[in-house]
Every structure is written in C-alpha cells, then in structure tokens.
C-alpha cells in the first residue's frame, strides 16, 4: 500500500512539472544584439499551445506568458503586437501602454540579469474572420525605441467553444 502512494505521488509531481515546463515554440524577430528570446507559453484556459499555428478561439481569453532575463536596466517599456495576414501588417491595439503593468513577479524599473515574468491577456473579438495570422510580439524600450524582447508565431483564428 505504501508503495502505491509513492508511485501516485511521483506521477502527480511529474505531471505538474510537465505541465509547467511546456512552452510554445516561436521564432526570434529581432536583429538587435541585446534583444532576448523569452520562454513563451501561449494558452487558452488549460490548453497550452506547444507548436504553431496556435489556435486562437474568437471571444475566448488567451494568455501570453513570458519569462526572460532582463538584458540591461530598463525603466520605460511598452508592449506591441503586429498582426500580418496576406502581406498586410497592422498594429493590433493593446489596452496596455506600460509593460510594467504586465509584470507578475517584479516592478519597474528592472535591472540587468533580473528574472522577469510578464503576462498579457488577450481576447480576439468575434467579428474577426477565421484566418491564419502571424503575430509579432515585442516589448520595446521607450528610451531608445528598440525591441528588447521580440518573437513571432502563427495563430489560427477560429470560431469554436472555448476549451476548458
């Protein structure tokens, strides 16, 4: 009986580690030598996208979680999302002008080599068409107007029930 409890405990621990370690594969989009490619998790409720295109369900809350080490001292930052479809790129307006508002483990300013967790919640309105779009997500240092975090990945926008 004691042996079964140990096995159950180990299975539970391994499951938690697996779920927490899953990340979304993305591409770097910065040619800046000081920009970093963070560990990214794109998720809709409990569904974690591991490879692209990630499914984006219209009207469902989507989370983009970043973990990165600050490349230098940063005080004023802003997030930016550019969406590209059929060769046309549009700035997807975010309701967040200050990236500091998305930090979950620290506050601004951040210092060089500080571990930073950033989270952005996004809901694509149901008026959008069902298409595959390339998203370019970046965090921009406002003082020099350059990316210090930048990545791209594809999402497939579709109408469906939100996963649980």
Residue with tokens 């990545």: 151
Residue with tokens 């697996």: 18
Whole-model pTM? Answer: 0.77
For residue 3, tell me if it sits in a domain.
Answer: no
Query: Total structural domains in the chain?
Result: 1
Phi/psi of residue 72, each to 5°?
-170, 180
For residue 9, tell me if it sits in a domain.
Answer: no
Residues 6+ apart with CB under 8 A from 65: 40, 41, 42, 43, 117, 118, 119
**Vertex 48, ends 152 and 24: CA angle to 5°?**
30
Please report which confidence band the pLDDT of residue 33 belongs to, taking 50, 70 and 90 as the band edges: low
Per the structure, the complete domain to which residue 42 belongs is given by: 24-158
**Cα 21 from Cα 57, distance rounded (Å):** 23
**Cα 116 from Cα 73, distance rounded (Å):** 12
Averaged pLDDT score across all residues of the chain: 80
User: In this structure, what CATH number is given to the domain that contains residue 94?
Assistant: 2.60.40.770
Residue 31: the pLDDT is 62
| Closest to 136 in 3D by CA, of 119, 108, 155 | 155
Please report which confidence band the pLDDT of residue 35 belongs to, taking 50, 70 and 90 as the band edges: low
For residue 114, tell me if it sits in a domain.
Answer: yes
Q: Which helix H or strand E contains 20, and what residues bound it?
A: helix 2-21
For residue 164, tell me if it sits in a domain.
Answer: no
- Please report, for residues 19, 63, 92, 130, the alpha-carbon distance to residue 160 in angstroms, rounded to integers and kept in the order given: 24, 17, 22, 10
For residue 65, tell me if it sits in a domain.
Answer: yes
Residues comprising the chain, all counted: 164
Residue 126: the pLDDT is 82
- 135-149 pLDDT, tens digit each: 898 999 999 999 899
């Amino acid at each position: 009986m004691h042996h079964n409890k140990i096995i159950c405990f180990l299975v539970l621990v391994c499951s938690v580690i697996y779920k927490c370690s899953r990340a979304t594969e993305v591409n770097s989009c910065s040619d800046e030598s000081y920009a970093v490619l963070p560990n990214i998790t794109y998720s809709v409720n409990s569904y974690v996208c591991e490879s692209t295109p990630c499914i984006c369900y219209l009207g469902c809350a989507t989370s983009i979680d970043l973990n990165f080490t600050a490349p230098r001292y940063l005080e004023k930052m802003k997030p930016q999302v550019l969406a590209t479809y059929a060769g046309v790129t549009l700035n997807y307006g975010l309701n967040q002008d200050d990236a500091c508002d998305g930090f979950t483990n620290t506050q601004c300013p951040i210092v060089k080599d500080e571990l930073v967790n950033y989270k952005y919640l996004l809901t694509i309105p149901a008026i959008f068409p069902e298409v595959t779009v390339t998203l370019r997500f970046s965090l921009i240092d406002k003082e020099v107007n350059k990316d210090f975090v930048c990545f791209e990945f594809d999402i497939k926008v579709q109408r469906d029930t939100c996963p649980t």
